[in-house]
Amino acid sequence: MNILEDLKIVKSQFHKSFWIANFMELFERLAYYGQATILSIFLRNTLKFNEVQAGQLSSIFGGLIYFLPIFAGALADKYGFKKAFSFAFFVLSIGYFLIGSTGMSMFAGVYNNNNLFVILSCILVFTAIGGSFIKPSVLGTIALTSKPESKSLGYAIYYWLVNIGAAIGPLIAYFVRNSIGIQAVYIVSAVSCFLMFLVTMFFFKEPEEDIAKEKKSIKDVLTHMGLVLRRFRFIIFLLIFSLYWMMFWQIFIVIPFYVTDFISKDAPFEIIESVDAWGIILLQLVVNRLTKNMAPITAIIVGFAFTILAWGVIMVHPSIIMIIAGMIIFSIGEQTQAPRYYEYIADLAPKGQAALFQGFAFLPIAIGWAFGGTLGGWLYKTFAKDSHQPYMIFLVLLCIGILTTILMFFYNLYIKKYPAQEIRDAKFE
């Protein structure tokens, strides 16, 4: 009875649009992570790109889908979240279908006589433009439909649902690939997004603004970006963090290549890739409790250190069991640093600029994808295919983990020594 009462209290804290937006985010993440887990294998095994080309195409899509929200958020503010959601899901449904169609025999005549790399690059850019409107629209809706006392809970619900999508999406992808074919995973992602387009059109209502909200133009975004880029300490912090995300995205580049080439072609690589998300779902509360008294920068450094252990465990004996163990360790590190990352950015931001700085929190993810996909493809081709030394891939990733941890450690020492040093005090009207 108490649980039911608690659920009623939680429900009463949020507007109906809050729940619809988070419901749509869940299905968007199902679609995104479902296709992301098989993208590198689809590009190489079905479309016959080599590992480097597959990594480059992954970099195009992943980099843009996390970089463009900086600009998409301004447009979503200007035209409204309902229009932004509608545009996003409609474009995503078309984009995912087009990606899958490149590997379908019925469309062979359309793509055979053309430069497939260029065509697919255009399709991926188109799809990323649509996807870039999702996060700013969801986060904006949460901000406007949560009461001040329940905002932190609102973002926790959002983070929880994102990871549920990241965990279940790969499971669906595995069963679809196994029973129908790898191309069908993109059809499922397209259908999922189209259904959310219908949900937007018929059920989502534009949240009412109880307080005046600043409307940012693209010019404002560019101006504010310039202000952020003048913050030397902040940029160094983001660049160091980008190295972490370069390692993270190898879960979707290197791991599926290695599992299918060196362990078993029939191995459920999608499920293995989802272990990180399952680890967050199952262990987040425990890890948060154990690390709550750590300073934010300390938690970040400890989280980075776990990546060293994760890649080390995998390198020692890269079997399915050891890869899963490595992914669990990696997820513990992610849970340790991820919540504190946003807290640290808020602390680092000058007074009155916290929201501006938080707007650029996704930049390391974008940079990590933009370079990580190409890096992973190059590492795999160089060490696994050309020189037949796959363990070297994990050694390089382990070394990147060591470098990332050391750089953040010395960055923290510098901040402690010069706590107030800035290139200039950026302000805006």
pLDDT digits (tens, 9 = 90+) for 411-427: 988 876 665 544 344 44
Find, among 260, 298, 345, the residue nearest to 38 by Cα. 260
Check: CB of residue 30 under 8 Å from CB of residue 185: no
Q: Is the pLDDT of residue 350 over 90?
A: no
d(CA 52, CA 44): 9
Distances, alpha carbon 82 to alpha carbons 133, 221, 270, 300, 364, in Å: 11, 21, 33, 36, 28
Convert the pLDDT of each residue in 357-410 to its tens digit: 666 778 899 999 999 999 999 999 999 999 999 999 999 999 999 999 999 999
Rounded distance, CA 146 to CA 143, Å?
A: 6
pLDDT recorded at residue 426: 42
Does residue 46 have a pLDDT over 50? yes
Q: Outline where 180-268 has alpha helix (H).
A: 183-202, 218-229, 232-248, 250-258
The mean pLDDT of 83-109, rounded to a whole number, is 94
pLDDT of residue 355: 57
**Domains of the chain: residue spans and CATH:** 12-208 (1.20.1250.20), 216-420 (1.20.1250.20)
Return the number of other C-beta atoms located less than 10 Å from residue 116's C-beta: 16
pLDDT in tens, 162-201: 889 999 999 999 999 999 999 999 999 999 999 999 999 9
Q: Enumerate residues 6+ apart whose C-beta is below 8 A from 83.
A: none
175-184, 308-317, 351-360: least confidently modelled range: 351-360
Choice among 113-117, 349-353, 421-425 with the minimum mean pLDDT: 421-425
CB 133 within 8 A of CB 87: yes
Task: Please state, in angstroms and as integers, the Cα–Cα distance from residue 314 to each residue in 323, 330, 341, following that order.
Answer: 5, 11, 26
